[in-house]
Every structure is written in C-alpha cells, then in structure tokens.
Chain A
Amino acid sequence: QKEVEQNSGPLSVPEGAIASLNCTYSDRGSQSFFWYRQYSGKSPELIMSIYSNGDKEDGRFTAQLNKASQYVSLLIRDSQPSDSATYLCAVNRPQGAQKLVFGQGTRLTINP
C-alpha cells in the first residue's frame, strides 16, 4: 500500500464548477497535511495546510480532513482555467527525518 495515494487523473472540470481532489494516507500517526499546486514545468507551490478534522477555507479553496477515514481532500470552487495544474497531496511522516511524503499528484484540467 502506498503511503499517500491520489488518483493521477486527468480530472476534467468545466469552468465555474467545483473541482474535488482526493487523497488517502496509510499512517494513522500523521498529523499534518498539505496541498501543493504544480504548474507544468514549474515547482510545487504550497496552497493549503490542514491539521485538524473538518474544513479549512481559504478563498476559493477548501481543505477537508477526516483522520478516522485517513482521507484529505481539496475543493476548488468557481474553477478557473488558471487552476489547471497538478495537485500534490503531502502528509507528514511522524518517524524519521523524512518529514513529508508526497502522493503522485492529480492532474486537473479546467475547461472553458
């Protein structure tokens, strides 16, 4: 089982709709969860972090965390073509020096 799993996509969403990105993780001890956005040919950019169960909203972005189900998601409301990118889920690893484990990423395309 992969430590962090994401559907690689591509996920296509019409402009203005809600894009929903999902991530599951295997280590029940994980406490910190991050979403990075990576445009093609660019480096990952941190867009959201979440540490507690429930929802965290920042502008058009909402991160949702359910530790019991080991599930974290990212919702993008009013999707824009500029949201087209690969979204990486990262989860902290409680043990060892490698503090972050990344998923494969989900490629999102917003269609005008």
Chain B
Amino acid sequence: ETGVTQTPRHLVMGMTNKKSLKCEQHLGHNAMYWYKQSAKKPLELMFVYSLEERVENNSVPSRFSPECPNSSHLFLHLHTLQPEDSALYLCASSQTVNQETQYFGPGTRLLVL
C-alpha cells in the first residue's frame, strides 16, 4: 500500500456506540493530522501529532479522543457522538509538522444516528 490509508471508509453509529477510526501513512512522515469536513464548511483541523506527541488540539470536544502509538499510525476514538458530528473525517500527513505540504487519506464518511 502507498500513501495514506484510512479505515473504515464508511461508518454508521448510534449516539451510545464507541468506535475508532484508523489512519496509516506509508510515506515515512513524522507529522499526522485529523481534519473534519462538513458540508459547505472549510476543512477543520482537529488534532496535530508530531513524532507521536500531540502538538495541537483545536478545542475539540472530549467525545473525540486521538491516539498516536507511532509515527505511522493515528487513531480517532469516538464515543457518545452527536448527529452534528456526522461528517467526512480526513487524516493527513506531512514530512514534519513544519512542512506545509500535506497528503490526505481517502477519509471516513461518518453518520451518527
């Protein structure tokens, strides 16, 4: 596999469920990102990790919990989500956190019922 991969590609969950999104990058990058993309809104940065250390948390509700066990993997743990959390969740990576060229994964389309 090449580039940035994400699983699952689609997810439907109830408000009481717990699920996790997975991202893996095969580019040898040191920085990874979670973005949320809602209809008719700009991409919203959620979290930034540099060498497995979280360097940015953009006031994201605690029902979203990121985890970065190593520089190639990034998870987003979800629990007690709300319907307004339905969106496309995109993972991206860059060579370093200061390298602005980011490469995106295919995204997970999340629907919260």
Binding site for B on A (CB under 8 A): 4, 8, 32, 34, 36, 41-46, 49, 88, 92, 96-105
Contacts and interface: CB of A to CB of B under 8 A. Distances in A.
Nearest to B94: A99
Contact of B56 (A4, A32, A97, A104): A97
Contacts of A36: 104
Given A42-B106, A103-B42, A97 B55 contact: yes
Contact of A45 (B55, B100, B104): B104
Interface string B94-111: 100111111111110100
Contact of B42 (A45, A49, A102): A102
4 smallest beta-carbon distances between A and B, as pairs? A97-B56, A102-B43, A43-B104, A97-B55
Contacts of B50: 97
Interface SS, B side: loop
A43 B106 contact: yes
B107 A43 contact: yes
Interface SS, A side: loop
B81 interface: no
Given A4-B42, A46-B101, A97-B48, 12 more contacts: A34-B101, A36-B104, A42-B106, A43-B104, A43-B107, A46-B102, A46-B103, A88-B43, A97-B50, A99-B99, A100-B45, A105-B42
Contact of A97 (B97, B99, B101, B105): B97
Nearest to A91: B100
Nearest to B104: A43
Nearest to A107: B40
A8 B40 contact: yes
Contacts of A44: 43, 90, 104
Contact of B100 (A42, A88, A100, A105): A100
B89 to A, nearest CB: 10
A43 B105 contact: yes
Nearest to B56: A97
A102 B100 CA distance: 12
Nearest to A4: B42
Contacts of A34: 100-101
